[in-house]
């Protein structure tokens, strides 16, 4: 019961933050955020990620949609990863670590763009990390993907 209450409070806080931010004129609501929350399943996947975050869970297969809030420099140590932060409809952020040694880079990605995703969630105190957004060359892990402007990257 306490866990459910915590998840509900987290979701409400995210909603209130977004409502305040967009109402006071400091930001404009991306059209894609409204679309994402209105589509069937979007709220369910967003709540599953919020639940995994609240419970400090990792190795959770998730899918959903978010808006690119910040583009980061590539991680070039070891396997190369394109990195960016998505803001989910709940307001939670998610760091995406997309392996560009195994999947194509999203070269056209810009802040404010909508990205759909399927991959593995790993807990972090800042909201979580999404990885395995590609096919597993060994076929042992569920294949993930990213979708941007109608094109799938995996």
Q: How far is 94 from 121, CA to CA, in rounded Å?
A: 9
Sign of the CA dihedral 71, 64, 15, 29? positive
2-153: in CATH 2.40.50.140: yes
Query: Could you read off the pLDDT of 54-78 as tens digits, one per residue?
Result: 999 999 999 999 999 999 999 999 9
How much is the pLDDT for 46?
83
Q: How far is 113 from 123, CA to CA, in rounded Å?
A: 24
Query: Could you read off the pLDDT of 123-141 as tens digits, one per residue?
Result: 999 999 999 999 988 888 9
Query: In the chain, what is the straight-line distance between the N-terminal and C-terminal CA atoms, in Å?
Result: 38
Q: In a 3-state reduction of DSSP, which class is residue 15?
A: helix
Higher-confidence residue: 44 or 98? 98
Question: Domain residues of the chain, as ranges?
Answer: 2-153
Q: How far is CA 8 from CA 61, 87, 122, in A?
A: 21, 18, 20
């Amino acid at each position: 019961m306490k866990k459910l209450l915590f998840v509900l409070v987290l979701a409400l806080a995210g909603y209130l933050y977004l409502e305040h931010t967009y109402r006071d004129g400091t930001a404009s609501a991306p059209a894609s955020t409204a679309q994402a929350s209105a589509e069937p399943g979007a709220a369910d996947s967003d709540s599953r990620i919020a639940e995994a975050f609240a419970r400090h869970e990792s190795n959770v297969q998730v899918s959903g949609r978010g808006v690119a809030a910040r583009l980061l420099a590539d991680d070039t140590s070891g396997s190369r990863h394109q990195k960016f932060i998505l803001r989910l409809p709940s307001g939670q952020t998610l760091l995406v670590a997309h392996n560009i040694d195994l999947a194509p880079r999203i070269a056209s990605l810009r802040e404010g763009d909508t990205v759909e995703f399927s991959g593995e969630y790993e807990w972090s105190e800042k909201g979580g990390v999404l990885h395995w957004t590609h096919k597993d060359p060994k076929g042992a892990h569920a294949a993930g993907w990213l979708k941007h402007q109608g094109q799938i990257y995996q």
